């Protein structure tokens, strides 16, 4: 059996550099944590080729999740969470007097926040009054487990924080509420002025948890109350639609470029593609800086949101945020405004950092052109080099920490949204988050190595080893990269298994071309698992009639024909 250890050692040996061979020695000893500590600093390299090879070595196992280190990673995430809370406390202590409008305030500070409010108001407009609500895919405070599905949530009365009571009237008119009030199939809508015929459970806030990030640490998240998250996601979507008018948070295009498949950059948004294009350009002409922050969402202090956003948005945010977090059995009053896990945190930080970058550029007399010389995606920020020092100073003033390892203002390297460029060359390395086990996972690994073969021919031996462990029927599923990881990428058309499929539609008698592919099999749970009312309500919220698919690994795979060309 070809295991992760064999793959790593073979990979490092194929790279062949002293650094790679040193990592191979550590991998043989099972010292994955030590392997993950190695990194490459592009500022120390004179050419893209040398940097790329070393980056391929140090990044390969940087995200590898080893079960033996699970508690260590979780503890590291929790320690970082506490540090972020302390950082937010210091920020709040500095700026709460400006929220409370006490006397003898510094007019220069007031001017900064006035400018930020003006910019966020321009970006977002007026806060919405009506929210439709949206479901997330993960757990909530009272719904635990990775397999928690929309029908499971609909089958229960949602919990909420006390501040979210203002959304109860709107929620009482939803199919969800009517199902629990017994009026789902009634012709009369539930009386808006009547009390709900049941109690909605109250909780103090969210629950701390962590998700995989890399080999050394997890990422902290907040598991939100069900009703809060239902409307948080609606607020996030509304903010996204407003920001898209400024060329921010643009939706994915219909197709990804073929180069995206090498680094796994599929199903990403147009804004991420714009960031990569700007980063590539800046690595050549040095005109733009790429800025990244450390623990950005966890260090947005509550006072900053109150000062940097218009009051109508602050009121909306505050009605849905969790003021407390349950951490390891202890309830903590939050200094941060919201965390990852909150349905609008990503859009909030995008708006905040865009407003800050806009302010910095206007202060320096630089005209912002969104998507050209100014773009923000979460905490990935791109601004002109001339504006970068001022913006960095402003971000520190607002209580944020600059990620110096991922911020580039000078030199031939830029990084943003999964794109690494050294003098215009794509030098994004490959990462392994877990050891491949299933045929589909081995195909992903083989395809990641494919485009590196022309650059490092020794990697072909590693790829051939991967292909040799695959069942024959899987190994014969070859095709173009445009199909992604349902086929083994192969430029030799003679190895493709293709056929013309007969169309069942009269208007298309010519049929369609198909290629043999490996299709992951997901677990489909039929709606009959739930009661009739929950099943009907699930259909109203967009669940497929054939059932719902839990998150998680596929059950297996099947060989089938898929359209191509």
- For 194, other C-beta atoms within 10 Å of its C-beta total 9
Residue pLDDT, tens place only, 184-207: 887 665 555 556 888 999 999 999
Q: Which residues of 205-226 are buried (b: 16+ CB within 10 A; e: fewer)?
A: bbbbbbebbbbbbbbbbbbbbb
Predicted model pTM:
0.93
Q: Quick one: pLDDT at residue 119?
A: 98
Q: Is pLDDT above 60 for 239?
A: yes
Residue pLDDT, tens place only, 54-97: 999 999 999 998 887 899 999 999 999 999 999 999 999 999 99
Q: Share the mean pLDDT of the chain.
A: 92
d(CA 205, CA 479): 50
Q: Quick one: pLDDT at residue 265?
A: 45
Q: What is the mean pLDDT of residues 139-151?
A: 83
d(CA 353, CA 333): 25
d(CA 185, CA 224): 30
Report yes or no: 35 and 20 within 8 Å, Cβ to Cβ: no
Q: Quick one: pLDDT at residue 258?
A: 38
Q: Quick one: pLDDT at residue 260?
A: 42
Residue pLDDT, tens place only, 456-515: 999 999 999 999 999 999 999 999 999 999 999 999 999 999 988 876 655 555 668 899
Q: Quick one: pLDDT at residue 254?
A: 53
Report yes or no: 463 and 449 within 8 Å, Cβ to Cβ: yes
Residue pLDDT, tens place only, 3-27: 999 999 999 999 999 999 999 999 9
Q: Quick one: pLDDT at residue 257?
A: 40
Q: Is 417 exposed, middle or buried (0-12, 13-18, 19+ CB in 10 A)?
A: buried
Q: Quick one: pLDDT at residue 259?
A: 39
d(CA 553, CA 40): 32
d(CA 45, CA 411): 10
Q: Strand 288-291 to strand 218-223: parallel, antiparallel, or no bridges (unpaired)?
A: unpaired
d(CA 446, CA 84): 39
Q: Is pLDDT above 70 for 176?
A: yes
Report yes or no: 179 and 532 within 8 Å, Cβ to Cβ: no
Displacement of CA 468 from its chain's centroid (Å): 34
Residue pLDDT, tens place only, 330-355: 999 999 999 999 999 999 999 999 99
Q: Is pLDDT above 80 for 145?
A: no
Q: Quick one: pLDDT at residue 143?
A: 83
Q: Quick one: pLDDT at residue 365?
A: 98
Residue of higher predicted confidence among 535 and 260: 535
Residue of higher predicted confidence among 501 and 240: 240
Residue pLDDT, tens place only, 357-399: 999 999 999 999 999 999 999 999 999 999 999 999 999 999 9
Q: Is pLDDT above 60 for 266?
A: no
Q: What is the per-residue DSSP string for 186-217?
A: -SSPPPTTSPPSSPPPB-SEEEEEEEE-SSS-
The top-scoring range by mean pLDDT among 188-192, 253-257, 450-454 is: 450-454
Q: Strand 218-223 to strand 205-212: parallel, antiparallel, or no bridges (unpaired)?
A: antiparallel
d(CA 395, CA 403): 12
Q: Is pLDDT above 90 for 555?
A: no
Q: Quick one: pLDDT at residue 15?
A: 96
Sequence-distant (≥ 6) Cβ neighbours of residue 330 within 8 angstroms? none
Q: Quick one: pLDDT at residue 504?
A: 61
Q: What is the mean pLDDT of residues 307-319?
A: 98
Q: Quick one: pLDDT at residue 147?
A: 66
Phi, psi of 315 (to 5 degrees): -65, -40
- Which pLDDT band holds residue 262 (cuts at 50, 70, 90)? very low
d(CA 517, CA 473): 10
- Which pLDDT band holds residue 256 (cuts at 50, 70, 90)? very low
């Amino acid at each position: 059996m070809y295991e992760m250890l064999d793959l790593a050692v073979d990979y490092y040996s194929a790279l062949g550099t002293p650094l790679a061979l040193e990592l191979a020695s550590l991998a043989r000893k099972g010292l994955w944590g030590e392997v993950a500590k190695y990194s490459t600093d592009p500022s120390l390299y004179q050419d893209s080729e040398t940097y790329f090879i070393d980056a391929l070595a140090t990044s390969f196992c940087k995200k590898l999740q080893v079960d033996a280190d699970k508690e260590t990673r979780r503890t590291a995430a929790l320690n970082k969470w506490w540090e972020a809370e302390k950082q937010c406390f210091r920020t709040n202590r500095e700026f709460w007097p400006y929220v409370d409008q006490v006397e003898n305030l510094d007019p220069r500070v007031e001017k900064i926040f006035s400018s930020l409010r003006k910019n966020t108001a321009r970006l977002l407009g007026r806060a919405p009054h009506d929210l439709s609500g949206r479901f997330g895919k993960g757990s909530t405070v009272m719904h635990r487990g990775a397999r928690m599905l929309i029908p499971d949530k609909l089958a229960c009365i949602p919990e909420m924080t006390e501040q979210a009571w203002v959304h109860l009237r709107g929620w009482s008119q939803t199919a969800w509420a009517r199902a629990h009030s017994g009026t789902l199939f009634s012709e009369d809508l539930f009386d808006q002025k009547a009390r709900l015929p049941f109690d909605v459970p109250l909780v103090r806030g969210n629950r701390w948890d962590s998700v995989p990030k890399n080999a050394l640490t997890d990422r902290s998240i907040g598991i939100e109350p069900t009703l809060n998250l239902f409307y948080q996601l609606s607020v996030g979507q509304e903010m996204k639609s407003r920001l898209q008018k400024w060329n921010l948070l643009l939706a994915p295009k219909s197709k990804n470029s073929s180069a995206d498949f090498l680094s796994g950059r599929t199903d990403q948004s147009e804004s991420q593609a714009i960031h990569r294009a700007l980063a590539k350009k800046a690595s050549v002409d040095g005109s733009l800086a790429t800025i990244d922050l450390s623990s950005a969402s966890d260090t947005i202090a509550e006072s900053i949101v109150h000062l940097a956003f218009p009051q109508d948005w602050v009121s909306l945010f505050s009605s849905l945020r969790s003021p407390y977090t349950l951490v390891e059995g202890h309830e903590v009053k939050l200094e941060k405004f919201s965390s990852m896990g909150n349905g609008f945190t990503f859009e909030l930080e995008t708006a905040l950092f865009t407003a800050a970058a806009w302010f910095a550029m206007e202060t320096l007399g630089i005209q912002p052109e969104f998507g050209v010389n100014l773009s923000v995606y979460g905490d990935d920020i791109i601004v002109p080099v001339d504006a970068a020092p001022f913006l960095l100073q402003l971000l520190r003033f607002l209580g944020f920490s600059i990620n110096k390892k991922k911020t580039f203002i000078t030199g031939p390297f830029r990084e943003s949204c999964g794109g690494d460029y050294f003098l215009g060359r794509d030098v994004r390395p490959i990462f392994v988050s877990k050891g491949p086990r299933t045929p589909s996972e081995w195909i992903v690994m083989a395809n990641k190595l494919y485009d590196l073969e022309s650059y490092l021919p020794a990697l072909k031996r590693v790829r051939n080893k991967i292909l040799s462990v695959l069942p024959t029927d899987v190994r014969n599923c070859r095709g173009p990269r445009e199909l992604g990881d349902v086929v083994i990428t192969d430029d030799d058309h003679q190895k493709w298994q293709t056929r013309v499929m007969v169309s069942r539609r009269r208007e298309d008698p010519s049929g369609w071309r198909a290629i043999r592919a490996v299709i992951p099999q997901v677990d489909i749970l039929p709606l009959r698992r739930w009661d009739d009312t929950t099943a009907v309500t699930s259909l109203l919220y967009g669940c497929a009639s054939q059932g719902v698919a839990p998150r998680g690994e596929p059950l297996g795979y099947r060989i089938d024909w898929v359209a191509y060309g």
